[in-house]
């Protein structure tokens, strides 16, 4: 298991004892430099920022690896064509806890709107001034949810309970949301109507840089943008310009376009060489968490359970319901 953190060890160790699988936990990210560590393993268990490109898959196959067990729902980081060519089977965890991600999305919206991190810092510093901490009522605001699959549908429901007017864009309509009062609109029509936009679509060719200079220009001035989907849904450079001009009023991110070389590590002693990310950190109206929306006890338990069940299927040569193909 690559990119294995203490919480991964804990959740997998608790469950693997009663299985036929033996895990070797490696803290390093999977890259061409670390792929050789998989020598002697039948399967590699990888997370979102592990490198599963052509070059790495070729190395893994040469080391004898037959299976890739993703601890994630998203598989945009896997070269599926190469995996198929090399006979590597790929399995994933399609839904470990949509609640975890949806609830974190709401936490970000509330926290950036009401300036909670800044307020907490001030109070700790015994600065009890409220200057600059004005937020807005969520009640009555129009929120656009882009992508109403498992996570987006929950985000829409939670926002509905905040008495927001929820509109959605997704080629697949969720009848339960329509029944609740959510209105589906064409993506093109969503931008100008929203006070808040939540990105919950997967990263595909068609969704890459969905938020860009021209779509931002079509938004209401001062819109709040929230991304808990995938970093490249957003053209970050365009977002920085829009924050500077005030076109985007606030921004909350759990994912970042270039997060692969940043997130999941303690970089507090390093010189930050990503100027775009460094600029984002200077805005008082930007809140960033480092891809932690999934991180709940329930989600970790589900990831371990489903991954072990996936490995059971692969080891037994059974078809796996969570197989991913090109």
Q: Which is nearer to ligand NAI, 89 or 148 (CB)?
A: 148
Query: If you ran DSSP here, which 8-state letter would residue 234 be given?
Result: B
CB of 227 to ligand NAI, least distance (A): 9
Nearest-angstrom CA–CA distance, 155 and 145: 8
Total count of residues recorded for the chain = 326
Q: Quick check: is 193 catalytic?
A: no
Q: Which is nearer to ligand NAI, 149 or 315 (CB)?
A: 149
Q: Quick check: is 124 catalytic?
A: no
Nearest-angstrom CA–CA distance, 237 and 275: 10
Q: Which is nearer to ligand NAI, 43 or 203 (CB)?
A: 203
Q: Is the dihedral of CA 68, 71, 74, 78 positive or negative?
A: negative
Q: Quick check: is 131 catalytic?
A: no
Q: Which one is catalytic: 291, 297, 298, 305?
A: 291
CB of 206 to ligand NAI, least distance (A): 5
DSSP assignments along 84-99, one per residue = HHHT-EEE--S-S-HH
Tell me, rounded to whole angstroms, the distance of Cα 283 from its chain centroid.
22
Q: Which one is catalytic: 157, 230, 257, 258?
A: 230
CA diameter of the chain: 64
Residue 35 · residue 60 · CB < 8 Å: yes
CB of 325 to ligand NAI, least distance (A): 15
> In which residue are the tokens 């490249």 written?
232
Q: Which is nearer to ligand NAI, 100 or 242 (CB)?
A: 100
- Would you tell me which residues interact with ligand NAI (CB under 6 A)? 73-74, 95, 98, 101, 146-152, 169-172, 187, 200-204, 206-207, 228-230, 254-255, 291, 293-294
CB of 292 to ligand NAI, least distance (A): 7
- Residue whose beta carbon is closest to ligand NAI: 149
Q: Which is nearer to ligand NAI, 23 or 263 (CB)?
A: 263
Q: Minimal CA–CA distance to 59: which of 32, 24, 91, 29?
A: 32
Tell me, rounded to whole angstroms, the distance of Cα 135 from its chain centroid.
26
CB of 184 to ligand NAI, least distance (A): 10
- Residues serving a catalytic function are 230, 259, 291
């Amino acid at each position: 298991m690559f990119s294995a953190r203490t919480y991964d060890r804990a959740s997998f160790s608790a469950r693997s004892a009663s299985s036929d699988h033996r895990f070797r936990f490696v803290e390093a990210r999977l890259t061409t430099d670390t792929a050789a560590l998989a020598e002697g393993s039948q399967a590699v268990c990888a997370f979102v920022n592990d490198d599963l490109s052509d070059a790495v898959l070729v190395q893994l196959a040469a080391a004898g690896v037959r299976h890739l067990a993703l601890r994630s729902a998203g598989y945009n980081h896997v070269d599926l064509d190469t995996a198929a060519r090399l006979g590597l089977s790929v399995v994933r965890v399609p839904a470990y806890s949509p609640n975890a991600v949806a609830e974190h999305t709401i936490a970000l919206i509330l926290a950036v709107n009401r300036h909670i991190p800044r307020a907490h810092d001030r109070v700790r510093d015994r600065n009890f001034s409220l200057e600059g901490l004005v937020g807005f009522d969520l009640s009555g605001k129009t929120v656009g949810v882009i992508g109403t699959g498992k996570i987006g549908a929950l985000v829409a429901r939670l926002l509905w309970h905040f008495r927001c007017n929820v509109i959605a864009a997704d080629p697949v309509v969720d009848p339960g949301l329509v029944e609740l009062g959510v209105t589906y609109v064409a993506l093109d029509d969503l931008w100008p109507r929203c006070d808040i936009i939540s990105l919950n679509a997967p990263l595909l060719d068609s969704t890459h840089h969905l938020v860009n200079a021209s779509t931002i220009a079509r938004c209401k001035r001062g819109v709040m943008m929230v991304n808990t989907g995938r970093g490249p849904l957003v053209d970050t450079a365009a977002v920085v310009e829009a924050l500077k001009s005030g076109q985007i009023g606030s921004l909350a991110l759990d994912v970042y376009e270039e997060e692969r070389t940043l997130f999941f590590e303690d970089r507090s002693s390093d010189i930050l060489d990503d100027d775009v990310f460094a600029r984002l950190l200077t805005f008082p109206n930007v809140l960033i968490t480092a891809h932690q929306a999934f991180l709940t006890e329930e989600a970790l338990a589900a990831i371990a359970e489903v991954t072990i069940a996936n490995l059971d299927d692969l080891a037994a040569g059974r078809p796996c319901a969570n197989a991913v193909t090109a």
